[in-house]
Amino acid sequence: MATTLSMPGVSMFPDSRVVVRFEISADVNVTAYSARQRANRFLIAQIGDQLGALEPELVVGVAIQWRVPVQFAPSRLGPLGIVGHLLVDAQTGEVSIADGRMREDLAAGAELLYERATLPAGA
């Protein structure tokens, strides 16, 4: 996530030094463990039981969220790869799909991984 800071009207002298400090303060009501649980419940309810949440990472931006990788792991084949990410709001616990993707995108990614894994050797 790229973020820029614009300061219109600020002028500098040659050889000036700029020091910028940011402080973000927020209550984190959802732990990484809870975020993973919420992500798994979302996946089961919305897509299916062969997708699972992996270890979340905290992302600080406009909102403070847990970014949770979604792994496709069919019971017959085991883990095949990551099909996308979910975002869990660290304050409210609300779950959404990251990167502007939809449920269908995650399912399509899982189908592609399955097709690749079940292709005959040399095909």
* Per-residue buried b or exposed e for 76-89, using 16+ beta carbons within 10 Å of the residue's own CB: eeeebeebbbbbbb
Place of tokens 């800071």: 5
The candidate with the shortest Cα–Cα distance to 48, out of 104, 8, 5, 100, is 104
In this structure, what is the dihedral angle of CA atoms 44, 47, 49, 52, given to the nearest 10 degrees?
Answer: -80
Q: Where are the domains of the chain?
A: 32-103
Could you report the per-residue pLDDT of 44-96, keeping only the tens digit for each? Answer: 999 988 999 999 999 988 889 999 999 999 888 888 999 999 999 999 999 99
pTM for the full model?
Answer: 0.76
What pLDDT is stored for residue 122 in this prediction?
A: 60
67 φ, ψ (degrees, to nearest 5)? -100, 120
Could you report the per-residue pLDDT of 11-53, keeping only the tens digit for each? Answer: 778 888 888 787 777 888 999 999 999 999 999 999 988 999 9
